[in-house]
Each structure stands twice: as structure tokens, then as C-alpha cells.
Chains A and B, each alone.
Chain A
Amino acid sequence: MTDTLAKDHETVRAQQRTAAAQARRLKTLDSLFELRAFIALGVLIVVFSLLSDSFLTVDNVITMTRHVAINAILALGMLLVILKGGIDLSVGSTVGLSGVIAGELLQGLHLSPFDVVAYPQVWAVIVICIAVGALVGAVNGILVTRLNVAPFIATLGMLYVARATAMLISNGTTYPDLAGNPSTHNTGFDWLGQGRPLGLPVAVWIMIVLAALVAALLRSTPFGRWLYATGGNERATELSGVPVKRVKMAVYVISGACAAISGLIIASELTSAAPQAGDTFELNAIAAVVIGGAALSGGRGNVRGTLVGAFVIGFLADGLVILGVSTFWQMLIKGAVIIVAVILDQSQQRFRRRRAAASAVAVAAEDAEDDSRNPQRVTSEA
């Protein structure tokens, strides 16, 4: 009997030593995992530059970044919604709606009771479009917080409603030539898509500013803390007196506004607005957030990861076009990247749990050694 006990003890000690070693190894692996999106982006850049001279030029990087910006702006809004543990499928349609409203306003608003045509100033057009995006978000928010509709369903419904509204307003047609007319004092809309202050496209500046704002919101305001907490454990957060409903409402409103900004940039780049613009953009935004390491269950994710995710998707798409790869292969590769990203994320979470358990066992080993050195404590309890 004592023999077996001694043997058991030996085995346990050995297990504990292994655990301590494992804890150290897992720590190194974990930091590698943390950087996986950056590593992926680095690999993409190296591979594409080797395969084509025209990939890593200043001009091309700026162009690609401008393409990334549209998705990144959507993804920043999506990040907030996903941090809350929700999802916003309506952003692609909001992109189209925002463009159509810009088109309608810039072409002149016919006010039938007075029989006049009003030409709002460009800044007013931009403000109204963003407000409409926020309104779509507010409807999502009300559906989710007040009427308890699941986010997936609520925003799926609004995907159709917003798209249909865009079609109804435009009667299905594209608004051409949004450059405005000097005689009606509404020129300058094309600056959003085509201006280049300090050498960088306006869209890129908007992305940088929004990313900085969202990062500050998440890191340095109570709202950010509340958002992470709501996504992590809504019950506990509510019991802590956090206005959970207002937090949820706000993220949908911000997401809608971001989508409207994206829509304005697209309309400005093309100086025309099509009601079907932004179709399936929500999926690219979700992909960027997920590749950036956010958990769809909420509470985990950050701005840096999401931006890198948007760059991975954008650089991949443009790089494959430069190489002349067919669309079918482009889709396949994009799908594979998303799946691999999520698999890596899952293994990181598993590693973390194992690491926590391993270090706890190692601590237990130290405790046990303390006990055997102070046998008094054991006997006094037994």
C-alpha cells in the first residue's frame, strides 16, 4: 500500500515537472500566435513582391490602401458590433443607400409643394447621408435591444429594407455624374474619392482618423470598457449597473454611420451612385474582423487586428489581380484564408487554456513541496 503511494507520488511529481516545462513552451508559442495576422500580411507582401515587380511600389501600395480603406471603415464599425457579441449584416446595403441619397441630393431635391429644386451644399449632403446610415443602425439597435430580435435576424431584415429603400428612391437606376455644378454651388463631392491631401487619398485619411477614434474609444473611455464587458458577460455587466442597452444601441448606430461613410467614398470615387453598390460588403467586413482575431461570441478583438485583417483581404485581392489569377481562384484563396485564420484563433485559445492549466499545476507542485517541508501543517489538519 505504501509502495503504491510512493509510486503515485513519483508519477505526480514527474507530471508536474512536465507541466512547468510545457507552460514555458506555450508562452513562446502564444506570442507567435498573437502576431499571426501580421505574419500573414508579411508573407503576402513578400510572396507578391517576388512574383511581380509592380506590387511593392509606392503608387501601388497607396492604391491598394485606398481599396482597403473602404472595407476597413466598414470593419471598424463591425468590430464594435462583434465585440458586443452581435453581427451587422445590413452594412453592405447601407453603403448602397448612402450613395443613392447622396446622388438624389446632389442632383437636386425637387420640393413639389413649392415647385423649386433645392441643391444642398456638399457638406450638408455628407452629414445627411451619415445621419441616414446612423438611422439604419438605430433601427437595428431598437430591434435588438427593445424588441429582442436576434442580431443576425434583425440586421438580415434591415439588409433587405435598406437595399429596397435605395432601389425605391433611385427607381433602380444609377445616378451619373455627381461632380456637381458650379451654378448650383454644390461642387466638390468628388474630392472625397479623388482628393490627395499630403499625398494620401482622402479615404486613407478617413480610415486613419476613424481607426484612431475607435481605438481611443475602446481603450480610454468607459464606453469601451462597457463594450468589452457586455460582450464578455452581459448578465454580470448589467448587474454592475452598466447601461448595457445604450451600449448595444450605440454600436449599431456607429456601424451604420461607418457604412454610410464607405458608401460616400465609393460614390465619390466613381462620381456616380448605383443602388446595388456594396452588395455582400458585410461579408468582407466580417472576414476582416475575424482574421484580426476577434471572437464572434464577443468580448475579444481590437482595432489593430481588424486593420491588419482588412489589409490581408485587400492586398490578397489586389495582388491576385496583378498576377492575373482568375476570379474563381481568388474566391477559393480568400475562403481558405478566412478558415485558416479562424482555425489558428481556435488553437490559440486552446493553447491559452492549456497554458493556464499547466502553470496552475506547476504552482500546485510548489505548494505540495512546501507542504512536505512543513509536515506539521498536514498532521494538524488530519
Chain B
Amino acid sequence: MFQHKRGRVLISATAVTAGLLLMTACGSSGSDAKASSSKSNLIAIITPSPDNPFFKAEADAAGAKAKSLGYKTSVASHDDDPNKQSELIDAAISRKAAAIILDNAGADASIGPVRKATEAGIPVFLIDREINQTGIAKAQIVSNNSQGAQLSAQQFVKALDGKGDYVELTGKESDTNAGVRSKGYADVISQYPDMKRVVRQTANWDQQEAFTKMETILQRFPRIKGVIAGNDTMALGAVAALKSAKRTGVVVVGFDGSPDAIAQIKAGTMDATALQPAALGAQRAVEQADTYIKTGKTGQPEKQSIDCELVTKDNADEFGVFARR
């Protein structure tokens, strides 16, 4: 009976805590919305879910830059859902935003909403991902996946002295970037006849899946020398699998430049990653939006690409969250 009572106390305590959490969450977003709706010097920032630190860094950098230029901001996530993206853009239109910074939810599905905003007189600046049409958005600023993949692959080859068996873990097979990166890797590595890709498996961008698959692959190919992964999350899964199999000296290379990966590079368990300057692209988009609002021009071509940067143990200290310090 005593135990029952304690159980109830615990439950109610948890419920109260959960309630408080919810209340704080609602409170902050509510005040944001009110403050920004009154004026039209609002920049709407719309990105995929901040689950992924990359998008969070992107949204944070854009927000900070806009505030420093004297704008109000509203930050929202479309969770890669084109419908939700369309609703968010409608909301920005009705609030007469001065500009929209968008990391879109699909190269084709986003054309309509972007056009709608443009026709309503609101300039749209695309970051991170392109859409399959030019002449609507004021700018499409994306990081150069192909160039980044080549950077990673070159470092991978260098670390392996141009020879040895290796494994490639690819991202979700339906995702364009997964294909672009995999091709970038192949373009470089295929020039070295002594490098042999023994397995190519997808791990769906997922750490646990990469871990499980890597463990199994190690059973079949215990003597592999390297792992090259389509993103850092999968590279970290491979690192955990190598650690659990007590394999050392295997070269692991990723892509993205996430803080966790940089920490592993510093610790020496990972070799390199290609850092996508998410913050830089976002900041650049906000700056061009500012120019456009003031002058009616951006002074830049629509398509702009930002090169990725190679992060290795030698320069790891120079990088923060998806940006140079």
C-alpha cells in the first residue's frame, strides 16, 4: 500500500514537470509571433526539422544575422512536409513579411509556394537545397555537395595511401544528395586501381542502422581498411561498430561537419569530414535579402554555391557549429 502511494506521487510529479515544459514552450513561441506580426520588417525563416543540428545551425545563424541587421524574425519548421511548407509560406504572406529565407521541402513541390510568395511581392531566398526552376527565387545558395564529396574522398585516399579494401555507407537511396555524394566519392576513388569497394550498403542516414550493418559487414570483411559514409551520423555509427569489434586503424570519413563528428576527429577515431558551411549560407542569404529590401537588387547571380571545407585533426579546432569559428 505504501508503494502505491509513492508511485502516485512520482506520477503526479512527472505530470507537473511535463506540464511546465509544455507551458514554457508555448509561452516563448507565442510572444515571438505577437512581436513580429505588428510590423512588416519581418524575415520569415523556414527550415526542415531542427532535430538535425545542421538545420538548427542554419536557422540560428539566419535568425542571429537578421536580428543584427535590425529585423524581426519568425522561425518555423516544415518537417519536410510540402503541405506544411505551403501553409507556413501563406502565413508569411498574410503577415506581409519583408523576405523569406527557405530551406525547402522538395525540389518540385516547392516551386508553387515560392512563386506564390514572389507574386505577393515577397522575395524568397533559398538555402541548402535548390528547386527545379530558376527565375522565381531571388537567390539559391547551396553548398557544393559534389565538391565536398571530392574533398572527403581525396582525404580518404590520402589516409589510405591509395590502396585497400573499403566500405561505403550511403544515405537514403531516394534522396538526391545521397546520390550526388556517392558519385563524388566514386569520381575520386575510381582513379586509384588499388582501392577496392567491397560493400556498398545504405544505412538511411541513421546511426543505429549504420552500427548494426557495419558490425555485420565486419563479419564478412574483417580486413577492411576504410569506411566512407554519406553523412556524419552514419560515420559515427561505423565508429561505434569498429570500437565494439576492437578494430583500430580503420580510416573513417564522413560528410556534414557535425559537432559530434568534429569531436571524434579531435579524438582520433574519425579521420575527416566535409563541413557544409550552413551558417555561412544562411548569413549570406540574409545579407542579400537586406540588400534587396533596401535597393531592389541582390547584385549576385541567382545560383550561388558555397564550397565545403575539409575538417581533419590538423584544423579541427578552427571549426564551430557548421561554421569556422
Contacts and interface: CB of A to CB of B under 8 A. Distances in A.
Contacts of A270: 207-208, 211, 236-237, 240
Given A131-B10, A138-B11, A317-B212, 17 more contacts: A54-B220, A57-B219, A63-B219, A67-B216, A172-B49, A172-B50, A173-B53, A173-B56, A176-B263, A193-B244, A269-B208, A269-B240, A271-B240, A318-B212, A321-B213, A322-B217, A327-B173
A289 to B, nearest CB: 20
Interface string A241-285: 000000000000000000000000010011110111101000000
Given A173-B56, A327-B201, A63 B51 contact: no
B217 A321 contact: yes
A60 B212 CA distance: 12
A327 B51 CA distance: 25
Q: Give the interface size bracket for A toward B.
A: 35 or more
Given A57-B219, A194-B244, A272 B51 contact: no
B108 interface: no
24 contacts: A52-B220, A54-B219, A63-B215, A63-B219, A67-B216, A135-B14, A168-B21, A168-B25, A173-B56, A176-B263, A269-B211, A269-B240, A270-B237, A271-B240, A272-B260, A274-B208, A277-B208, A279-B206, A321-B201, A321-B217, A322-B216, A324-B201, A326-B202, A327-B204
A272 B25 CA distance: 25
Contacts, number: 93
B199 interface: yes
B201 A272 contact: no
A266 B263 CA distance: 21
B263 A321 contact: no
Interface string A126-159: 0000010001001000000000000000000000
A327 B210 CA distance: 13
A127 to B, nearest CB: 11
A66 B243 CA distance: 15
A91 to B, nearest CB: 15
Interface of A: 52, 54-55, 57, 59-60, 63-64, 66-67, 131, 135, 138, 165, 167-169, 171-174, 176-177, 193-194, 266, 269-272, 274-277, 279, 317-318, 321-322, 324, 326-328
B51 A67 contact: no
Contacts of B56: 171-173
Given A272-B207, A322-B219, A135 B11 contact: yes
Contact of B50 (A131, A171, A272): A171
B236 A327 contact: no
A93 to B, nearest CB: 14
